[in-house]
Structure 1
Amino acid sequence: MADGVPVLLRRLQQVERAVRAAVAQRRESDPQPDDPFRGLYLSDEAVDAALAATREPFAPWPGSAAPSFSSPDRLATLTRAAGLTPLDEALLLVALAPDVDSRFEQFYGYLNDDVTRRRPSIGLALRLCGLPEAAAPARLRLATGAPLIDLALLRVDSPDRPVLSRGLWVPDRVGGWLLGAGAPEPLLVGLAEPVEAYGPPPPGAAALGRALERAGARLAYLREQPGGSAPALAAAALHDAGWNALAVDLPRLAADPQPAELATVLVREAVLTGAGLVVGPVHGGEPWPVWSRLTGGRVPVLAYGTQPWDPAWTAVPPVQVDVAPLSGAQRAEVWRAALPERLADGLDPATATAQFVLGAPAIRRAATVAAQLAAAACEPVDATHLRAGARTQNAAGLERLARRIVPEVGWDDLVLPAPTLSLLHELAGRARHRDRVLREWRMRPGGGRGHGVTALFAGDSGTGKTMSAEVVAGSLGLDLYTVNLATVVDKYVGETEKNLERIFGEAAGVNGVLLFDEADAIFGKRSEVRDAHDRYANIESAYLLQRMETFDGLAVLATNLRANLDEAFTRRLDVVVDFPIPDEAARRALWDRCLGDRVPRAPDVDLDFLAAAFELAGGHIRSAAVTAGYLAAGAGRPVGMAELIGAVGREYRKLGRLTLASEFGSWLPQALG
């Protein structure tokens, strides 16, 4: 026998003793203890005995003290919140009685003249409230449109029965709440959760709170810009107006098989807890019953989303509020509030994370991650930790449309002319300071223009365009997302624009650098319209022109054919960087950088000859260096000139170039081998 079984048996013996005591107590007050038909009917004597008895506890449980119960007057609170009448209260109490005192099961079975029907019927409830069964105004209190039914405080079963014989019952959540229980509604787990308003209140929270408190507004729509904090703003406004906040996942609610029924449960939970609903994000495809149930006026509903409000969604017009991103100073305040006494000395979180457009909830989550990373390293939170935490708040949707690259190179890895490097630094600086220049100083006002930064990297293949984009992203602490044109261009009319819109839409909510490689394929020049193909191609280009101007992120267009880009795109670019073919000094530096410090070199390696003899771009030099490494590793010796020349010869053949003695000199046999 297992070790725990004897202990369990001894505890069950305590249950048996309690049952024996209860049976003895019952037999003392039972007028017919030996009735063989007990439970199948109720005699007058049994009902009289139940009326005379009380439902006090049986003998105290051995070795345990009776718990203390508090019974707050929640019925009065519910009456005020739901707008119940005295008759509504009476009907609710009649239906609740069997859940509070089990004797009422017998009473209702006796009065229903059916021992199996232990809940009150509508007719019985009306009569117990002193009203005739045919009283139409009273019966309407148990019909659709009345708060008891609309808020699901009371349920009516057996719809196939005549009205007066339909049963009434109170949902467990309502009965438990009236008795003082605090457990939330099980149906709402994962769908709705309370939200606390903490930290600095977002801009506009006080004004929206006044609209809720003084003007009696019950519906508001918060249109959120990238980096805005609509849920935080809504929660703060509700708390200012004296409401709790209950955040609702609207897409999950709309996808439920019975969304209208679940919306009713949500409103009931808000009424019970004195909360307003923070609902979103709104996409516009939610079914009408959801909106009609949520916006019935019982509780304030603050919806949020990124698209404009459609008046057809609800019959009640909402208070509309635009939620702008937090300023740099406001973000710094949230960072400091989330990381008290944990920041490294002299660290300004606003400067370290200026390139990240995050709302207050995202900053608090990022701060938690940053604190965990710093604690794991036994260090105070520095800029690296802050940026790593901020990157964890990127949505995953863009990764389905573009390839994410975690930058692993820095400025020292670039071998470029000084003017090109200067423009790259300028691009990084624009990304860091765009909030101050474009939002605080308003140097790009009007016209629906975005607050993004766009750049063009133009140059031959292998000149360092992609690597430079990675370096810029790494210097900002951002990830690089390379757009795959195969997922964008579509042969069907209009599909390319839809694919691009999905990419731009996802990128707006991601703190990263968006790289369009071979951009001339989709950002080409508009042409004269000669047939339908030209017409739709021009529409595509016109769409891209407009979308680039409203983009709020950081985008880089890379092309080998700058002349193929439409001039209208060039006007909308912030920085244009030309990547020239490296000169001899740059090529020598590239050869040295690509071979690195870990690769063993033979004494005959002549970098000066390689740089002077072969006019190759950086990408081709890197490819040749890797090939030489494989050749040397296969031969089991250090990298020497034989391997390097052989690798260059292979690179020439890939490029379709001739291997001439004038270039290779005495190394020509190795190049041809």
Structure 2
Amino acid sequence: MTDPDDATGLRHLLARVVLVEERVRREVERRQADDPDPDDAFRGLYLSDDAVARLLVTRRSPGPPAPDAAERLAAVEAEAPASSRLLRLTRDFGLTPLDVEILLITLIPDLDERFESFYGYLNDDVTRRRPSIGLALALCGVSPADAGARARLNAHAPLRAHRLVTVEDPERPFLTRALRVPDRVTSHLLGDDAPDPRLTGLLTDWAGAGAVGDPAPLARAFASGVGLAYLREEQGGAGAALALQALAAAGYGALCLDLDALARDPHHHDVVDAAIREARLTHAGLVCAPLDVVAREHTAVVRNLTAALDLPIALVGRLPWDASWSARPPLHLVAPRVAPGGRADLWHHAYPGPAPVDVDIEAALAPFLLTPAQVAAAAHAAAQQSVLDTGPLTLAHIRHGARAQNAAGLDRLARRITPEVGWDDLVLPRGTKDRLRELTARARHRDRVLGDWSMRPGGGRGRGVAALFAGDSGTGKTMSAEVIAADLGLDLYTVDLATVVDKYVGETEKNLERIFSEAAGVNGVLLFDEADAIFGKRSEVKDAHDRYANVESAYLLQRMESFDGLAILATNLRANLDDAFTRRLDLVVDFPMPDEHDRRHLWDRCLGGTLPRAADLDLDFCAKSFELAGGNIRAIAVTAAYFAADAGTPVTMPHLIHAIQREYQKLGRLTLPHEFGPYVELLTA
């Protein structure tokens, strides 16, 4: 159904078009009256000698306006409603009366196809069916030699600078260049609010639902004429949502431009121009995020965006602002994060239906740093997953929806593990388990402790949690990281730092920066294996190698301190770590070799409940006699299972003894007869 205000405004537009039509008709009639050969069937295709002679003795000048033209125009404008889109466009784009006349003259062939023929006739060329600059000026009653009138169609004048009119045929002389009104401008004047097709896939909605932070200060700035704001945010920041609320409070609509998608568009400069025009047409501000990729690779695009002086623009990103990006300084703000309780409100608002009362949404989302739009997307993803499972919403569905918002870049730099173990699978001393549970508590409550309570002020420190797992190989460090990730509902990403270190100067830092940058877009647990490869003690500088090794360690210390995620570093050699690094850790967890009691549990758990066992298995003897780590016991259990599968029997004691012997050979340990006691005769040569 057509909006009554749009219908009234359309009548005003058509009334102005009628006045233009009369002017065109008078010009056609005037040309016909002076035409020496009106019946020429090939008019516009060639120039006869008579036509050339007539051009030599005549001078084209604008026809006189109709006697009552000014009065009729004044009457039409007096009856124009405030809702007229033509009036709003005139005001918002700063058009003069001459600009409006040129716009309407250029627009009319898109409203009535007959005018293509009229313009072809007036151009003396049937192939040129759009008004030329010279013809448009003549129809406006001004001389083509009028410098002020010509200036209304130069590249920096409102009609062309704002892309309301395009000038074609740049290779032709100025007066014979054709004019055209872009389809989007025509559609807008006729009442259509569908955005420019070139913006398809680039306009998005980051708002989510509900209020985030306090938009009042930014709203006051926009209302007072501040045109450019930069909201710097961290992972899970709500900069875009805050900007949208501020624009609404200041009386503007909003267009959200996805700058990541824009950076991949080969015609990004034209797209920026279309977005700025769209915002002006709809009396909206622009919210552009994330700025980072565009700022690094397409600085000219940022300059183009910030050149729109009369348009409120909010840029959102994580990089520090670079003064070279814009000729005018922006208003700087720090974008807030969504508070833990606020995430639950946003989630409930977006979830299609009531959530079960026994599911604690706030606790489920506490480990995740999500933007408002990501919270809304997580709610929809959780709903879809519950439909797939044909059951009620569960904690697993909520966590699945939140993990689905992770960026994929880190998968190229680290190995992702979907956790499949829990606390019951860990066989560790009680003190070690207590420290691991303390680590999960820190990850859950970091926003409250480090954010709301400001327990880590200053120094550029992030809100991350860093822990060190120290112990011999096979004592459960990686498995514990997997359990922590499972308890928090996060994925585990393992990074082997030994593969990050590069012999070329500066490459190690680049590799690490790529990992941390990608990890900033991921809600996961980051596990650095073999951490002593780079976190070793800084040594006295004796040569260039020592100097650069110290630089690598110092860089990583600084980068770890500003990291916002959960990072776990595993090492077999705690004594080799730099003291400065240890001081920056939130928690150090030692993983001792298991004692006899824990080894008995490990043997039973590693053999599992589905592997068939012979009645003569003596696990008590294995636990007492062989001082092995959990990783070694698991490897022995797998080897014994292969022996049993090959023999077609349950796992027997000979299978276990042979498997233990193979593990000793792998470890380079001597096979001492007294360790094997009564089973020594089962050893093979």
User: What TM-score does the superposition give when structure 1 sets the normalisation length?
Assistant: 0.87
Residues in 2 aligned to 1:577 and 1:202: alpha-carbon distance in whole angstroms: 37
1:97 aligns with 2:79: no
Which of 596, 612, 616 in structure 1 is aligned with 2:608? 596
Matched residue, 1:438: 450
Contact (CA 8 Å) 2:493, 2:524: kept in 1 or not? yes
Matched residue, 2:254: 245
Secondary structure of the residue that 1:153 maps to in structure 2? coil
Residues in 2 aligned to 1:196 and 1:658: alpha-carbon distance in whole angstroms: 63
Residues in 2 aligned to 1:288 and 1:384: alpha-carbon distance in whole angstroms: 42
1:532 aligns with 2:544: yes
Which of 632, 652, 655 in structure 2 is aligned with 1:640? 652
Per the TM alignment, residue 236 of structure 1 is displaced from its structure 2 partner at its CA by: 1.9
Contact (CA 8 Å) 2:43, 2:125: kept in 1 or not? no
Matched residue, 2:59: none
Matched residue, 1:199: 209
1:453 aligns with 2:465: yes
Which of 481, 484, 496 in structure 2 is aligned with 1:469? 481
* Amino acid corresponding to residue 414 of structure 2 in structure 1: A
Contact (CA 8 Å) 1:197, 1:239: kept in 2 or not? no
Q: Deviation per CA, 1:197-218, whole angstroms, max 9, x where unpaired?
A: 56212213232122112x1111
Per the TM alignment, residue 339 of structure 1 is displaced from its structure 2 partner at its CA by: 2.5
Residues in 1 aligned to 2:669 and 2:498: alpha-carbon distance in whole angstroms: 29
Contact (CA 8 Å) 1:244, 1:274: kept in 2 or not? yes
Per the TM alignment, residue 106 of structure 1 is displaced from its structure 2 partner at its CA by: 2.2
After superposition, where does 1:269-348 map in structure 2 within 5 Å? 269-283=278-292, 284-295=295-306, 296-339=308-351, 341-348=353-360
* Amino acid corresponding to residue 213 of structure 2 in structure 1: P
Residues in 2 aligned to 1:591 and 1:138: alpha-carbon distance in whole angstroms: 93
Per the TM alignment, residue 36 of structure 1 is displaced from its structure 2 partner at its CA by: 10
1:570 aligns with 2:582: yes
1:230 aligns with 2:239: yes
Residues in 1 aligned to 2:142 and 2:278: alpha-carbon distance in whole angstroms: 31
1:186 aligns with 2:231: no
Contact (CA 8 Å) 2:164, 2:182: kept in 1 or not? yes
After superposition, where does 1:16-35 map in structure 2 within 5 Å? none
- 596-605 or 341-350: bigger deviation: 341-350
Which of 474, 490, 501 in structure 1 is aligned with 2:513? 501
Residues in 1 aligned to 2:206 and 2:542: alpha-carbon distance in whole angstroms: 61
* Amino acid corresponding to residue 221 of structure 2 in structure 1: A
Q: Deviation per CA, 1:510-544, whole angstroms, max 9, x where unpaired?
A: 11111111110011110001011111111111111
* Amino acid corresponding to residue 169 of structure 2 in structure 1: S
Matched residue, 2:50: none
Change (3 A) 1:196 1:664: closer
Contact (CA 8 Å) 1:391, 1:479: kept in 2 or not? yes
Matched residue, 1:58: none
User: What TM-score does the superposition give when structure 2 sets the normalisation length?
Assistant: 0.86
Secondary structure of the residue that 1:253 maps to in structure 2? helix
Gaps of 5+ in 2: 1-38, 47-82
Residues in 2 aligned to 1:616 and 1:527: alpha-carbon distance in whole angstroms: 34
Aligned length: 609
Q: Deviation per CA, 1:42-95, whole angstroms, max 9, x where unpaired?
A: 9xxxxxxxxxxxxxxxxxxxxxxxxxxxxx832122112212111111000001
Contact (CA 8 Å) 1:248, 1:280: kept in 2 or not? yes
Residues in 1 aligned to 2:587 and 2:301: alpha-carbon distance in whole angstroms: 47
- 79-88 or 370-379: bigger deviation: 370-379
After superposition, where does 1:9-20 map in structure 2 within 5 Å? none
Residues in 2 aligned to 1:409 and 1:250: alpha-carbon distance in whole angstroms: 39
Residues in 2 aligned to 1:358 and 1:107: alpha-carbon distance in whole angstroms: 59
Residues in 1 aligned to 2:553 and 2:194: alpha-carbon distance in whole angstroms: 56
Residues in 2 aligned to 1:137 and 1:288: alpha-carbon distance in whole angstroms: 34
Change (3 A) 1:516 1:447: same
Change (3 A) 1:274 1:111: same
Residues in 2 aligned to 1:335 and 1:387: alpha-carbon distance in whole angstroms: 12
Q: Deviation per CA, 1:4-26, whole angstroms, max 9, x where unpaired?
A: xxxxxxxxxxxxxxxxxxxxxxx
Residues in 1 aligned to 2:490 and 2:175: alpha-carbon distance in whole angstroms: 67
Secondary structure of the residue that 1:558 maps to in structure 2? strand
1:264 aligns with 2:264: no
* Amino acid corresponding to residue 550 of structure 1 in structure 2: S
* Amino acid corresponding to residue 75 of structure 1 in structure 2: L
Q: Deviation per CA, 1:359-398, whole angstroms, max 9, x where unpaired?
A: 1110000000111122333433232221111111111111
Q: Deviation per CA, 1:641-663, whole angstroms, max 9, x where unpaired?
A: 01001100101111111112101
* Amino acid corresponding to residue 203 of structure 1 in structure 2: G
Matched residue, 2:178: 167
Per the TM alignment, residue 116 of structure 1 is displaced from its structure 2 partner at its CA by: 2.2
Secondary structure of the residue that 1:538 maps to in structure 2? helix
Q: Deviation per CA, 1:323-368, whole angstroms, max 9, x where unpaired?
A: 1211112112212222365222143311122111111110000000
Per the TM alignment, residue 38 of structure 1 is displaced from its structure 2 partner at its CA by: 8.3
Residues in 1 aligned to 2:150 and 2:626: alpha-carbon distance in whole angstroms: 96
Contact (CA 8 Å) 1:267, 1:298: kept in 2 or not? no
1:386 aligns with 2:398: yes
Residues in 2 aligned to 1:608 and 1:266: alpha-carbon distance in whole angstroms: 74
Contact (CA 8 Å) 1:223, 1:305: kept in 2 or not? yes
Secondary structure of the residue that 1:285 maps to in structure 2? helix
* Amino acid corresponding to residue 170 of structure 1 in structure 2: V
Change (3 A) 1:663 1:415: same
Gaps of 5+ in 1: 1-34, 43-71
Per the TM alignment, residue 466 of structure 1 is displaced from its structure 2 partner at its CA by: 0.5
Residues in 1 aligned to 2:89 and 2:247: alpha-carbon distance in whole angstroms: 19
Q: Deviation per CA, 1:98-157, whole angstroms, max 9, x where unpaired?
A: 111122122222222222222111111111111111111111110122111011110111
Matched residue, 1:117: 128
* Amino acid corresponding to residue 360 of structure 1 in structure 2: P
Per the TM alignment, residue 504 of structure 1 is displaced from its structure 2 partner at its CA by: 1.4
Q: Deviation per CA, 1:431-472, whole angstroms, max 9, x where unpaired?
A: 111111111111111111111111111111111111011111
* Amino acid corresponding to residue 531 of structure 1 in structure 2: D
* Amino acid corresponding to residue 226 of structure 1 in structure 2: Q
Contact (CA 8 Å) 2:352, 2:380: kept in 1 or not? no
Per the TM alignment, residue 672 of structure 1 is displaced from its structure 2 partner at its CA by: 2.1
Residues in 1 aligned to 2:207 and 2:664: alpha-carbon distance in whole angstroms: 65
Per the TM alignment, residue 633 of structure 1 is displaced from its structure 2 partner at its CA by: 0.4
Matched residue, 1:49: none
Contact (CA 8 Å) 1:259, 1:290: kept in 2 or not? yes
1:208 aligns with 2:218: yes
Residues in 2 aligned to 1:39 and 1:476: alpha-carbon distance in whole angstroms: 80
State the identity as a percent.
60
Matched residue, 1:53: none
Residues in 2 aligned to 1:282 and 1:516: alpha-carbon distance in whole angstroms: 29
Residues in 1 aligned to 2:193 and 2:226: alpha-carbon distance in whole angstroms: 28
* Amino acid corresponding to residue 282 of structure 2 in structure 1: T
Residues in 1 aligned to 2:499 and 2:289: alpha-carbon distance in whole angstroms: 29
- RMSD, aligned CA: 2.0
Residues in 2 aligned to 1:388 and 1:252: alpha-carbon distance in whole angstroms: 25
Contact (CA 8 Å) 1:343, 1:382: kept in 2 or not? no
Matched residue, 1:660: 672
Which of 608, 613, 621 in structure 2 is aligned with 1:609? 621
Contact (CA 8 Å) 1:659, 1:668: kept in 2 or not? no
Change (3 A) 1:343 1:38: same
- 233-242 or 351-360: bigger deviation: 233-242
Contact (CA 8 Å) 2:340, 2:362: kept in 1 or not? yes
Matched residue, 1:61: none
Secondary structure of the residue that 2:683 maps to in structure 1? helix
Residues in 2 aligned to 1:587 and 1:149: alpha-carbon distance in whole angstroms: 80
Residues in 2 aligned to 1:197 and 1:642: alpha-carbon distance in whole angstroms: 65
Matched residue, 1:80: 91
